[in-house]
A and B are shown apart, each in its own frame.
Chain A
Amino acid sequence: MKITPLGDSALTVRVDDRFKDAPEKTLKEVLNVVRRLEDAHIPGVIELAPAYTTVGVFFDPIRVINCAVEPGSVVEWITQKICEGLAHGKRKQGGRAVARVVEVPVCYDPEFALDLDHVAQHAQMSPKEVVDLHRATDYLVNCIGFTPGFPYLAGLPEKLATPRHATPRKEIAAGSVAIGGRQSGIYPLRSPGGWNVIGRTPLRLFDPQTNPPALLRAGDRLRFQAISRQEFETWTF
């Protein structure tokens, strides 16, 4: 495990360099690092930011220095605290460690599925076959990013992998379910984007008025459930 500075107010804990080999195992390890570092309560640490193979550890250098640390030794000090936290953390597998399974309703109506034909053409399948394959698959939330609440999903069947658009669309509707290369994701907010849109969910993936503000978090399992246009319009939470 390598720990490197990310500027002067954060460090990156690198769990693995080779993500593609074993995504699930790597993700588990990343989330394990997050839990252990949460439990370590390292002075000055503000928050943790997990991604595919890394955990960003954001800290306040002044608070670290106020723990009688020389300015020249801040990185060494906090690195040591991280290593201690990882070595001594022995939180039981439980609580958040158990993966949640979230069902996400998707309407694949042509009005929403702007790129369904394109994806079908690329996969040499019919649009219906694309939809059936897409919703018959279990996905894993690798991390949240790009915009608040945007889940990067692993598990897309290889057949459905479709390169992203060379020129991104200026605006993609909130709730759009999309394919970008070998990844799949859901746009929580209206935003620009270059992925292939194949449907839309009525679920709200990001709501700043709730805590936590995002429906999904890294480590969640996700399944898409096809709904009709009628169900989409009348969906209640």
Chain B
Amino acid sequence: MSLSLTRAGFLTSVQDLGRNGFRQFGVSLGGALDVFALRVANLLAGNDESDAGLEITLGGLRMRFEDKRVIAWCGGEFDVRVGSTPLPAGHSCLLNADDELTINQPKVGCRAWLTISGGIDVPFVLGSRSTDLRANFGGLDGRALRDGDGLPLGKQSEFSRSLIDLLREQRVASWSSPAEWSSSAKTETVLRIIRGVDWSRFNDVTIQRLTRDAFVVSSDSDRMGVRFDGPELRRNDDVDLVSEAVAPGTIQVPPNGRPILLLGDCQTIGGYPKIAHVITVDLPLAAQLRAGDRVRFSEVSIADAYRFLLERERQLERFRIGLSLHDS
């Protein structure tokens, strides 16, 4: 069974939780830029958290399914409809064969993650179904989706089947995931950061600028990183640094002084100074940034970064248990 895309949208790709274990060969982590959103949407569809879904950038999609499926989505403020019925973020929804699902441009934010019960069943490449758009492998033929593409869907879980049964009248579930999870886009974004190893290569004025000023997202941002037009950050020294590992969340400052916040498709190593890192729980906000958005950075301790992460993980655990109670 499959889904067919009449319109593939601006930039849509198959993504799961990413590709671990091959950094030493230069292979990026990749995966959904907001893995938490994908995990939540997968749970809502009755899937494993690690199943592959679609990462949608700026909408523009139309698709149909061959058979009954449960779907869910999380992300920016997109207008998603089944026929004429609006489908809010963070809700399980039943799609019948030949229903048309449309996803229009977001009012706020940039990306959304759509999951379908059974998951998207493309082959694993290096342990993941994620599309590596830079090296062109994984996902569907290693590329972004195009109009007319068909995608194979996997076998639905027992839970997905019982959801189909449960939703046959109301279509859209009355329960939902917490609103702050399913809708991660903000008009005024504050990203919490911890210090990077090269923090002290920047003087007090520059650090003040980093932690007080608003930074404007540049139009040449992509899945590799969010680039900022300004303000500029200048280093104290001009020591030539040796390339070393970088990670999603790392904020690099190239010689032109315009910081780059690395995202999932970033290179495995980099030689620019690392002034700071966005904490893991705030990466979903970073994944929603688009050209012209204004962002502020606020310093927290690494201990707090772990507390926030643990708290969110515990909430997800409670949500997972609550969701399983609908299986009756």
Contact = CB atoms under 8 A, between A and B. Distances in A.
A65 B308 CA distance: 12
A75 interface: yes
B308 to A, nearest CB: 9
A148 B279 contact: no
Contact of A189 (B24, B135, B310): B135
B1 interface: no
A105 interface: no
A69 to B, nearest CB: 9
A149 interface: yes
Nearest to B278: A7
Interface stretch (A108-116, A121-129, A138-146, A155-163): A138-146
Contacts of A34: 24
Interface residues of B, number: 44
Given A74-B306, A189-B135, A145 B277 contact: no
A146 B26 contact: yes
B242 interface: yes
B313 A48 contact: no
A6 B250 contact: yes
A7 B247 contact: yes
A168 interface: no
A149 B25 contact: yes
Contacts of B20: 46-47, 58
Contact of A208 (B126, B249, B278, B307): B126
B151 interface: no
Interface residues of A, number: 49
Interface string A47-74: 1111111111010011001000001101
A9 B280 contact: yes
B155 to A, nearest CB: 25
B309 A148 contact: no
Contact of A7 (B21, B28, B134, B279): B279
Interface stretch (A85-93, A193-201, A212-220, A227-235): A212-220
A211 interface: yes
B64 interface: no
Nearest to B25: A214
B197 A6 contact: yes
A51 B117 CA distance: 41
A71 B303 contact: yes
Contacts of B268: 49, 144-145
B246 A6 contact: yes
B279 A53 contact: no
A146 B27 CA distance: 9
B10 interface: no
B244 interface: yes
9 contacts: A8-B305, A9-B280, A48-B24, A49-B269, A54-B244, A56-B244, A146-B267, A147-B135, A213-B126
Interface of B: 20-28, 125-126, 132, 134-138, 194, 196-197, 242-247, 249-250, 267-269, 274, 277-280, 302-303, 305-307, 309-310, 313
